[in-house]
Amino acid sequence: MTPGRRPARRRLGIDVGGTKCLGVVLDEHGDVVGEQRRATPQGPDAIIDTLVELAGSLAPYDSIGVGVPGLVARNGVLRAAPNLVDINDFQVGSLLSARLGVDVHVDNDATAAAVAEWKVGAAKGVADCVMVTLGTGIGGGVIAGGRLIRGANGFTGEIGHMVVDPEGPPCPCGRRGCWERYASGSGLGRLARESAGGGRLRRVVELAGGDAELVRGEDVQVAAREGDTDALQVIDDFGRWVALGLVNLTNVLDPEMFVLGGGLAVSADLYLGPIERWFTQLLYAPHLRPHPIVRFALLGDRAGAVGAALLPEVH
């Protein structure tokens, strides 16, 4: 049986994170009617045990979806997960299905978050939208023509690794100048540290305890809220890099809306002006189209779990 081509009555979704697993149950309206958390254990066997126990605590349910951090193949295998210990080619979908006796739909956590925002969040009813999660790195999910785009291997939406400057700073992925080196939380910190030499960014460096090498994105945000002009300049530069990636995605996909989520979304008010100003300057043919709406995610920490619960309906 394939549950959920029509909406199931109680839909279980689990978001597996680096430190915790969040399970939610949605009713037929998409409202969260049950919620449980567990610490994420180490190793595949322990993770499966935890997910089985977590699912049991939220029973009954009619369908299950799971979001995991990493590259997820279309058959539910987690190929690699930088933030989980000892996980490679983890058959999470088939192992859970065998234990629970129902189909389990698995996808990348940012893809799940995109599904959540599209189905019940900021982009509800929008046929063409791209979710961009600005956290330590950048993840994403693509909805086009009213459908989730998965790609040949299931790897659609690795937008943080678009190369925006081939001579740029090295990325942990092994290449240079990936978008997330600039437009993520760690990118904001890096932009600030690069500007902090020679007595500049004094207030930001002060917030970092006096050492320019220790400046983080958070320090820039605090100083910017105080009105510090150096910090606001870094924020403007950051907004330029965010806009650059959004422009590239617009040239490729022409979405109606971007939904920005992730840890940086909470300080959205700081960046939105610079993003929109730079977007207009960088877009191809900006005068010939309505620009995509840039909206902030509505579902917060629950987006991954809510979206996981909706995966059986969109896969």
Task: Give the residue with the Cβ less far from its own copies, 74 or 225.
Answer: 74
In the complex, least distance from residue 18 CB atom to its own copies, rounded to whole angstroms: 18
Task: Kindly indicate which of the ranges 25-33, 110-118, 150-158, 221-229 contains the residues binding its own copies, using the contact rule CB under 8 A.
Answer: 150-158
Q: Which residue of 9, 20, 124, 289 would you call a contact of its own copies, by CB under 8 A?
A: 289
What token pair was written down for 166?
């081939």
Site string for its own copies, 152-191 (x = CB under 8 A): xxxxxxxx-xxxxxxx-----x-x--x-------------
How far apart are alpha carbons 107 and 68 in whole angstroms? 6
125 binds its own copies (CB under 8 A): no
What token pair was written down for 26?
């949605």
292 binds its own copies (CB under 8 A): yes
Task: Kindly indicate which of the ranges 59-67, 141-149, 208-216, 304-312 contains the residues binding its own copies, using the contact rule CB under 8 A.
Answer: 141-149
Beta bridge partners of 176: 170
Task: Kindly indicate which of the ranges 100-108, 110-118, 219-227, 282-290 contains the residues binding its own copies, using the contact rule CB under 8 A.
Answer: 282-290
- Cβ neighbours of residue 219 closer than 8 Å, sequence gap 6 or more: 189, 192, 204, 205, 207, 208
Q: Is 60 helix (H, G, I), strand (E, B) or coil?
A: coil
By CB under 8 A, the residues from 229 to 248 that bind its own copies are: 240, 244, 247-248
By CB under 8 A, the residues from 262 to 281 that bind its own copies are: 281
Task: Give the residue with the Cβ less far from its own copies, 100 or 155.
Answer: 155
Walk across the sheet containing 129-134 and list its strands: 147-148, 138-144, 129-134, 257-261, 293-296
Task: Give the residue with the Cβ less far from its own copies, 22 or 247.
Answer: 247
How far apart are alpha carbons 284 and 76 in whole angstroms? 37
Site string for its own copies, 51-90 (x = CB under 8 A): --------------------x-------xx----------
Length of the chain: 315
- Rg over alpha carbons for the chain, rounded to the nearest Å, is 20
CA torsion angle for 174, 178, 183, 184 (degrees, to 10)? Answer: -30
How far apart are alpha carbons 31 and 25 in whole angstroms? 8
Total chain residues near its own copies (CB under 8 A)? 50
In the complex, least distance from residue 94 CB atom to its own copies, rounded to whole angstroms: 18
Q: Please, are residues 201 and 194 in contact by the beta-carbon 8 Å criterion?
A: no
Task: Kindly indicate which of the ranges 112-120, 219-227, 253-261, 296-304 contains the residues binding its own copies, using the contact rule CB under 8 A.
Answer: 253-261
Q: Please, are residues 283 and 153 in contact by the beta-carbon 8 Å criterion?
A: no
Q: Please, are residues 265 and 131 in contact by the beta-carbon 8 Å criterion?
A: no
The values of phi and psi at residue 23, to 5°, are: -110, 140
In the complex, least distance from residue 218 CB atom to its own copies, rounded to whole angstroms: 26
Q: Which residue of 27, 62, 256, 301 would you call a contact of its own copies, by CB under 8 A?
A: 256
Can you list the positions of beta strands (E) in 76-171? 78-80, 88-90, 104-108, 129-134, 138-144, 147-148
151 binds its own copies (CB under 8 A): yes
5 binds its own copies (CB under 8 A): no
How far apart are alpha carbons 50 and 90 in whole angstroms? 15
By CB under 8 A, the residues from 20 to 39 that bind its own copies are: none
How far apart are alpha carbons 311 and 10 in whole angstroms? 13
249 binds its own copies (CB under 8 A): yes
- Contact positions vs its own copies (CB under 8 A): 71, 79-80, 127-128, 140, 142, 144-145, 147, 149-159, 161-167, 173, 175, 178, 240, 244, 247-249, 251-256, 281-282, 284-285, 288-290, 292
